[in-house]
Amino acid sequence: MRSILIIEDDPAILKGLKESLEQENYHVLTARDGLKGFEMAKRENIDIIILDLMLPGKNGQEICRDLRSTGVSAPILMLTSKKHEMDKVLGLELGADDYVTKPFGLRELHARIKALLRRKADLPKDIDQYSFGSIHIDFKKREAIKRKKPLKLSLREYEVLKYLIQHEGEIVTRTMLLDEVWGYDVFPTTRTVDNYILSLRKKLEDNPAEPCHILTIHTAGYRFVK
């Protein structure tokens, strides 16, 4: 089930939205002010955020910008009151993905939510370049550079690294890697994964014995941090 976070101070609108969306079978979380909403968006795993532009405490624009800079990538649907045409543009500038102006119809809202979810699903963030520490990687060209010097990585190494980076900050289990990188039809040992981690660390980390990008999460898996 998809999770929607609504950040809205008007209790009447909030209630109406919540009920309507729950009827559409979404899991709905709510926050009455900007700060709470911001915290929830960071903490919970949200698929889409509905955000009122005018809020007490921390307004929609600020939240929008802060969420983006914190790395929250869930699409944001902005609610604006009709009078402030300008705010539309401002809101969009700050990283919102779409907006509706009050008063809005629920059917329109549902349509936009669906569109945003679809759009997100369509775009599995495909990175073809990435930099961290003294490393620069071009996944498309299969080139890796560390301090101006070329690095040789095998195909699997590129794939494992890419998967880790795509899930930056998240825990990646060995099973996830085996399933997604190796595929569902082959069954190497989980030790195989460890060995790829080992060699990636040797090549990428300044001090492979004390890695600072590819971290071990004991009893769970690994995590990439920038």
Q: Which residues bind its own copies (CB under 8 A)?
A: 12-13, 15-16, 19-20, 75, 85-86, 88-90, 92-93, 95-99, 103-108, 111, 119, 123, 140-142, 154-155, 169-171, 217-220, 223
Give the list of residues 6+ apart from residue 112 with CB closer than 8 angstroms, or none. Answer: 77, 98, 100
**Partner interacting with residue 207 (select from its own copies, DNA, none; CB below 5-8 Å by kind):** none
Nearest distance from residue 136's CB to its own copies, in Å? 14
- For its own copies, the closer of residues 172 and 204 by Cβ is 172
Piece of the chain touching DNA by CB under 7 A; list 1-9, 12-20, 103-111, 185-193: 185-193
Please confirm whether the linkage preceding 150 is cis (ω < 30° from 0): no
Return the one option of its own copies, DNA, none that residue 149 interacts with (CB less than 5 to 8 A, by type): none
Binding flag, residue 175, DNA (CB under 7 A): no
Question: Interface with DNA includes 19 (CB under 7 A)?
Answer: no
Q: Report the residue from 22, 128, 194, 206 that binds DNA according to the rule CB under 7 A.
A: 194
Contact status: 192 vs DNA (CB under 7 A): yes
Is residue 217 a contact point for DNA (CB under 7 A)?
yes
Cα 10 to Cα 15, 30, 62, 168, 222: the distances in Å are 9, 12, 18, 36, 42
Tokens 């990636």 found at = 200
Residue 145 Cβ, how far from its own copies at the closest point, in Å? 13
Considering the rule CB under 7 A, would residue 225 count as an interface residue with DNA?
no
Nearer to its own copies, 39 or 119 (CB): 119
Decide if residue 154 touches DNA (CB under 7 A): yes
Residue closer to its own copies (CB basis): 140 or 147: 140
Six-digit token string for 132? 């961290």
Residue 224 binds which of its own copies, DNA, none (CB < 5-8 A, kind-dependent): none
The torsion angle over the Cα atoms of residues 166, 123, 137 and 211, rounded to 10 degrees, is -10
Q: Is 164 exposed, middle or buried (0-12, 13-18, 19+ CB in 10 A)?
A: buried
Cα–Cα distance, 167 to 132 (Å, whole number): 14
Task: Dump strand ranges (E) for the chain.
Answer: 3-7, 27-31, 48-52, 76-81, 98-102, 129-132, 135-138, 143-146, 149-151, 171-173, 214-217, 221-224
Rounded Cα distance between 91 and 97, Å, is 9
Taking the C-alpha atoms of residue 158 and residue 140, their distance in angstroms, rounded to an integer, is 10
Residue closer to its own copies, measured from CB, 153 or 193: 153
Selected range binding DNA among 2-10, 60-68, 104-112, 155-163, rule: CB under 7 A: 155-163
